[in-house]
């Protein structure tokens, strides 16, 4: 067995791992790199392997850094199928459509403002490319619905365990059978937290697996508990409501928006916060929430316990409104508080959230509630760092509103949880730490090695290959 790490190694984004056994080449994830625009555009414009030679593609979940290069793969000649959960297929369709739309808008903008001479800018992929990708998907059930191995190719099969990261996310277990021998390799994809709202906890692998590709996003972190985060959310919402302010929440369209809606529904039902108007002002978040409502089989037991008996929908309640049109969104800018609005983008770099910030930053009654990671050099990061003034659309605004940060709604397992997950896997011998910055992976390696000196733990770099021996 040969494993080559073409992305999501030595860093977080661009997840692409090629597994070769005999004549079979199985690609785990096909994601885009994210970060500095020019650098990532070059990385994302070509694939580092022969797409025509790939036997099958298996996708762990629908985030862009795990599925965003699928259109390029098919354009480069891949003729096979794409395997994922049913929910991941639905999520990926909206994520890829949105990416195609943004790329087209970016290309149009660059072409309007280009200096005479350079070639016209083109999007990396179009809506037509996305349609071709979606026609290739085959849905694979979670093991809790079917314990059978799912056939990928002669001698190759797969099982999906629930990763608990986002809707449809899976831990992938590959099984290779040749010459009377069986080899298995698992890939966590992105592993979720235990106890997060709405989604089940990560499912432990029950099959004997010797080799594991494990994410290390938070390999050097211990999360605060989710109940503590919910208490903080309750307190700041009540304080802002009392002073008649607006609660402006920049949020990621997939995952974080739905988690917050669910928690707000709980708090409202229990009368722990007032029944104030709450708006979801993001077309992508609205479309993805609709995907959630089509997949109730993915909800955790607590969601059914809380809302199922009453016949409620976890992501819909009386004072919650999804705004779709621009006119509805603009009307919120002049609407007096108190009310709450959840809007994208999560790092305040684009989208409708910018207009809510323009109209809300300079009022000291208001609250800007940050619930997700804010990358360097983003507007969201500047707000977290406590800048007294920020620029939006080249215009300067004073930050008079309260800024509160609640980081505990993370969709990634922390270091102790990652270690514990690996320890539950029968027969494990070799771990590759992927999807993490160097310092995070090194810290996790040190933590795991303390109790498991007999395990081989590697931190692969991009384009590095390893040949694994069957024991």
Joined tokens for residue 66: 């795990």
Q: Provide CB contacts within 8 A for 80, sequence distance 6+.
A: 54, 55, 56, 57, 136
Domain boundary among 405, 427, 459: 405
CA distance 1 to 181: 12
Domain boundary among 361, 384, 405: 405
pLDDT at 115: 57
CA distance 338 to 401: 14
Q: Find the CATH number of the domain harbouring 391.
A: 3.40.50.10890
CA distance 66 to 52: 20
CA distance 136 to 22: 24
pLDDT at 308: 60
| Sole residue written with tokens 């639905």 | 90
Residues 366 and 418 in one domain: no
Residues 375 and 394 in one domain: yes
Domain boundary among 360, 386, 405: 405
Residues 30 and 173 in one domain: yes
Residue 298 near residue 199, CB atoms below 8 Å: yes
- Estimate to the nearest angstrom the gap between the alpha carbon of 74 and the chain centroid: 23
Residues 194 and 292 in one domain: no
Q: Find the CATH number of the domain harbouring 461.
A: 3.60.15.10
Question: How many domains are there within the chain?
Answer: 2
Residues 65 and 164 in one domain: yes
Residues 213 and 232 in one domain: no
Domain of residue 64 covers: 2-221+411-467
DSSP lists the bridge partners of residue 176 as: 156, 183
CA distance 266 to 270: 6
Residues 247 and 182 in one domain: no
pLDDT tens string, the chain, 471 residues long: the values are: 999 999 999 988 899 999 999 999 999 999 998 876 677 888 999 999 999 999 999 999 999 999 999 999 999 999 999 999 999 999 999 999 999 998 898 888 778 877 555 678 889 999 999 999 999 999 999 999 988 999 999 999 999 999 999 999 999 999 999 888 999 999 999 999 998 888 999 999 999 999 999 999 999 999 988 999 999 999 999 999 999 999 999 998 998 999 999 999 999 999 999 999 999 999 999 999 999 989 988 888 888 777 665 556 778 888 999 998 999 999 999 999 999 999 988 889 888 999 999 999 999 999 999 998 787 778 998 999 999 999 998 899 999 999 999 988 888 999 999 999 999 999 999 999 999 989 999 999 999 999 999 999 999 999 999 999 876
CA distance 397 to 163: 41
Residues 211 and 236 in one domain: no
Residues 351 and 441 in one domain: no
Residues 209 and 316 in one domain: no
For helices 438-451 and 415-423, what crossing angle results, to 10°? Answer: 50
pLDDT at 34: 84
- Using alpha carbons, select from 269, 276, 198 the residue that is nearest to residue 237: 276
Cα angle, residue 53 at apex, residues 48 and 59 outer, rounded to 5°: 70
For residue 113, report the phi and psi dihedrals to the nearest 5 degrees: -110, 15
Residues 384 and 417 in one domain: no
For helices 283-293 and 256-269, what crossing angle results, to 10°? Answer: 70
Residue 163 near residue 190, CB atoms below 8 Å: yes
pLDDT at 105: 85
Residues 195 and 209 in one domain: yes
């Amino acid at each position: 067995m040969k494993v080559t790490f073409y992305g999501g190694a030595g860093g977080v984004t661009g997840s692409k791992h090629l597994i070769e056994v005999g004549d079979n080449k199985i690609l785990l994830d096909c994601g885009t790199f994210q970060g500095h625009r020019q650098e990532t555009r070059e990385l994302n414009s070509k694939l580092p392997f022969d797409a025509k030679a790939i036997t099958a593609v298996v996708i762990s979940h629908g985030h862009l850094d795990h599925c965003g290069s699928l259109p390029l793969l098919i354009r480069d000649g891949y003729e096979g199928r794409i395997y994922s959960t049913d929910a991941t297929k639905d999520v990926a369709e909206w994520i890829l459509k949105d990416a195609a739309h943004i790329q087209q808008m970016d290309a149009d903008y660059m072409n309007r403002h280009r200096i005479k001479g350079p070639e016209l800018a083109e999007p990396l992929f179009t809506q037509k490319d996305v349609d071709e990708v979606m026609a290739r998907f085959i849905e694979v059930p979670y093991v809790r619905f079917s314990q059978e191995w799912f056939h990928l190719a002669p001698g190759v099969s797969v099982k999906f365990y629930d990763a608990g990261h986002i809707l449809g996310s899976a831990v992938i277990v590959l099984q290779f059978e040749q010459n009377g021998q069986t080899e298995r390799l698992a890939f966590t994809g992105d592993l979720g937290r235990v106890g997060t709202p709405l989604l089940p906890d990560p499912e432990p692998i029950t099959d004997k697996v010797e080799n594991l590709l494990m994410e290390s996003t938070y390999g050097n972190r211990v999360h605060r508990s989710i109940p503590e985060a919910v208490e903080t959310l309750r307190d700041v919402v009540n304080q802002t409501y009392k002073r008649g302010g607006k609660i402006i929440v920049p949020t990621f369209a997939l995952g974080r928006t739905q988690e917050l809606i669910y928690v707000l529904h709980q708090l409202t039902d229990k009368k722990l916060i007032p029944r104030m108007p709450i708006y979801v002002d993001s077309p992508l978040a609205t479309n993805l929430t609709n995907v959630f409502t089509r997949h109730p089989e993915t909800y955790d037991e607590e969601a059914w316990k809380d809302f199922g008996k009453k016949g409620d929908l976890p992501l819909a309640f009386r004072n919650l409104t999804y705004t779709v049109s621009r006119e509805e969104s603009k009307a919120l800018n002049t609407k007096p508080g108190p009310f709450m609005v959840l809007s994208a983008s999560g790092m305040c770099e684009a989208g409708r959230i910018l207009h809510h910030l323009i109209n809300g930053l300079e009022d000291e009654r208001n609250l800007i509630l940050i619930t997700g990671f804010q990358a360097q050099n983003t507007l969201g990061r500047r707000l977290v760092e406590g800048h007294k003034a920020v620029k939006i659309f080249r215009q300067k605004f004073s930050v008079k509103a309260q800024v509160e940060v609640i980081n505990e709604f993370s969709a990634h397992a922390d270091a102790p949880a990652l270690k514990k997950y690996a320890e539950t896997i029968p027969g494990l011998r070799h771990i590759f730490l992927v999807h993490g910055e160097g310092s995070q992976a090194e810290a996790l390696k040190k933590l795991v090695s303390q109790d498991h000196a007999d395990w081989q733990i590697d931190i692969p770099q991009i384009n590095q290959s390893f040949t694994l021996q069957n024991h």
